[in-house]
Amino acid sequence: MLAPGCPRCPRPVVLDGPGWACRDHGPVVPLWRPAEASYDAFVAHLERADGFPTLLPWPLGPGWHVSSFGVVAAEGGGVLATVTAVSGTTLLDGPVDVVVVSEEPGTGIGTRVARLPGDTPSDPGAEPPVTKVRVEQVSVPMWSVSTSAAPGGGSTDVELDRSVLVGEESGRWLWLLIRPASAMLLLRDEWILRDATSIGPSLVEVPFGGPDPGW
């Protein structure tokens, strides 16, 4: 139900000796994702995530749905990252996608989702955080990440295309990608991200489905 791919690029991976390898990135711990977001695939995802947090903006607004998810995990354990995407519409922005990444430093999936080079967010320096999100009970300051280093970056199209925020939570990078960039205004109030494993029975009421937002 979940197929392996490269965490750093959209390529499939092939079995190479004891592990998986990407043609461009060599041996990798694979990213497991479903062809289509569904409740059953999400249950398989949570099993593979094995307690590593899978974060969802909560509660989902009316008409919003979980459109994509993935977990970077070695065969038999060793989980490095999770990705979830929720999609919906707002009056001001039309269709909006929000992608949440929780990753161990160096996994490289946050920068992939943000379409930035390398595997580490740029140092915010003395910049103050632009907002806070709440992960379960913890308030996490989030910094804005410039997308000008992205391919095509510096052009207005790329900068209006999406907003990227990053923070640190429990020693992991927490990335939020919001498309289009103007939908950042959604974050005015402190957003709540909940670990899907702690949502309990109401998880069966969460709508899943496409189209895949294509991170």
Which residue has tokens 């991976």? 13
Q: Does the protein bind Zn ion through residue 22 (CB under 5 A)?
A: yes
Q: Does the protein bind Zn ion through residue 112 (CB under 5 A)?
A: no
Residues 6+ apart with CB under 8 A from 122: 116, 145, 146, 149
Cβ closest to Zn ion, residue 112 vs residue 194: 112
Candidates 198, 189, 210; CA nearest to 55 is 198
Rounded to whole angstroms, the Cα distance separating 83 from 60 reads 16
The CB-of-111 to Zn ion minimum distance in angstroms stands at 12
Using CB under 5 A, which of the segments 1-9, 98-106, 145-153, 188-196 binds Zn ion?
1-9
What is the x/- site pattern for Zn ion, positions 61-100, by CB under 5 A? ----------------------------------------
Residue selected from 6, 56, 72, 80 as contacting Zn ion according to rule CB under 5 A: 6
Residues 6+ apart with CB under 8 A from 200: none
The CB-of-6 to Zn ion minimum distance in angstroms stands at 3
Q: Does the protein bind Zn ion through residue 24 (CB under 5 A)?
A: yes
Q: Does the protein bind Zn ion through residue 33 (CB under 5 A)?
A: no
Distance of CA 2 to the CA centre of its chain: 17
Contacts 24+ apart (CB under 8 A), 128-131: 129/167, 130/165, 131/165, 131/187, 131/188, 131/190, 131/191
Rounded to whole angstroms, the Cα distance separating 101 from 65 reads 17
Using CB under 5 A, which of the segments 24-32, 83-91, 149-157, 177-185 binds Zn ion?
24-32
The CB-of-58 to Zn ion minimum distance in angstroms stands at 31
Q: Does the protein bind Zn ion through residue 134 (CB under 5 A)?
A: no
Q: Interface residues with Zn ion (CB under 5 A)?
A: 6, 8-9, 11, 22, 24-25
